[in-house]
Amino acid sequence: MASASHRRSLRKRRALVVSAAVVAAGVGAGALVLSANASGTDLYHQTLAAKDGWASSGSGTTGGAKADSAHTFTVSTRAQLVKALGSASDTAARIIKVKGTIDANTDDSGKKLTCADYAAGTGYSLTSYLKAFDPSTYGRSKLPSGTQESARAAAQKKQAANVVFKVPANTTIVGVPGTKAGITGGMLQIQKVDNVIVRNLTFSDTEDCFPQWDPTDGDSGNWNSEYDSVTLRGATHVWADHNTFSDAGHFDSANPKYYGREYQVHDGELDITKSSDLVTVEQNRFTSHDKTMLIGSSDSEPGGKLRVTLHHNVWKGIVQRAPLTRVGQVHLYNNVYDVTPLNGYSLQYSINSRAKAQVVAQNNYWTVPASIKVSKLLSGDGTGSVAGSGNLVNGTTTDLVAAYNAANSKKIKTTVNWSPTLTAGLESSAKNLPAELAKTAGAGVLTAS
């Protein structure tokens, strides 16, 4: 088992005070005056603290902390957010304060856009698409091609122009406390850039109007959608802290079925792919979602990258990919998993280690109902590893790998080729995590002080 060093009590690193005056003023249940695992003068200028996961490695993660007044923005609409982000190639430090909830499916004037608006002029219709690629006539051996597939791609491109927000290097995006800050229907794309911070935002219902049918995906085919709420593609030094991710607004139970398969309009909540590296994801809440977090998009991604730390996050009502890991060195500590079915989402597995991934899972807590076997908490392809200790299931120390291996032919390995050292805040026991993280994880917790 891999051992961790540089352990310090989370409570020593983070001052947590409930202010009676704040609560009395009506800020709401769970409102906390919180100084998070960060350095800096205020919420908007805070930087990732030393030794706080992989994103603290090397030059660390400072985002837009050095932004001048000309590159400090407060935004409340999609058009304002686009303007504040500017060019994805502009490396000037910037701070973007999101005030309220931004609906990505709006035009520059703020008018609501629908799937029909994106399809207009492309020639696409779902009825025509379903007729063109019905497996009984089109077959199951090749991807869709032809007039309707081209029309679907064109409509999807129109939607992407509205809902995909390209984040430049040296950027901090923070939700303004007390404003229900967030983005609905949109995707932050952090691609081939360095040094980005995303904090205190609620991401909801990132929905693709135009999923593609892939008859070759699995035994029965699948509908695959395009957008993640936050996606990292070849990005480095990224810190995601105190955000909430959810399908709220459109749960998968509302999806119809075509060709006998769910018409899936959601992709990931926070995906880390294309050799992204040096990422810390902490104090987030992931809930009511299927394919939640992908680390590594291909089994053939090169080694040496995809180094990710996930700690003090809550995963509740998640079907799978919490996370799915490939190739990299991934440290999971002090996370809470509640795999009780929620809003129609039922567990397939929590953690998947495949493609020689090297996962260390320490002092995490699972709440598991009697209807779910412990052997279902992990998954793998027989090449990945999960090391670590101190993991609790319903309060009892449990060897998750042993439980999985006893029930499966493709065994998960129990040794890794690295030892975590960037472990700030690692708590030696998971026992109190459910109560603790119920108060401290997710958006709406941080204050501006």
Catalytic residue among 199, 261, 307, 321: 321
Q: Is 321 a catalytic residue?
A: yes
Whether residue 359 contacts residue 385, with contact meaning beta carbons closer than 8 Å, is answered with yes
Cα separation, 449 vs 31, in Å, equals 13
What distance in Å separates the CA atoms of residue 57 and residue 70, rounded to the nearest whole number? 29
Beta strands in 247-397 (DSSP E): 257-258, 261-262, 270-273, 277-282, 285-291, 294-295, 308-311, 314-320, 324-326, 329-333, 336-338, 351-354, 358-362, 365-367, 378-380, 385-387, 392-393, 396-397
Residue 47, beta-bridge partner list: 39
Helix/strand/coil (H, E, C) string of 2-43?
CCCCCCCCHHHHCEEECCHHHHHCCCCCCCCEEECCEECCCC
Write out the two tokens for 240: 């995601």
Report the DSSP beta bridge partners of residue 352: 324, 379
**Is residue 413 helix, strand or coil?**
strand
Burial of 389 (0-12, 13-18, 19+ CB in 10 A): middle
- Would you give the DSSP letter of residue 400? H
- Residue 62 in tokens: 């400072």
Using an 8 Å Cβ cutoff, are 201 and 181 in contact? Answer: yes
Q: How far apart are CA 263 and CA 389, in angstroms?
A: 39
Task: Find how far residue 388's CA is from the centre of its chain.
Answer: 23
Q: Percent helix, strand and coil across the chain, each rounded to 5?
A: 15, 30, 50
Rounded Cα distance, 199 and 279, in Å:
14
Catalytic residue positions, numbered: 321
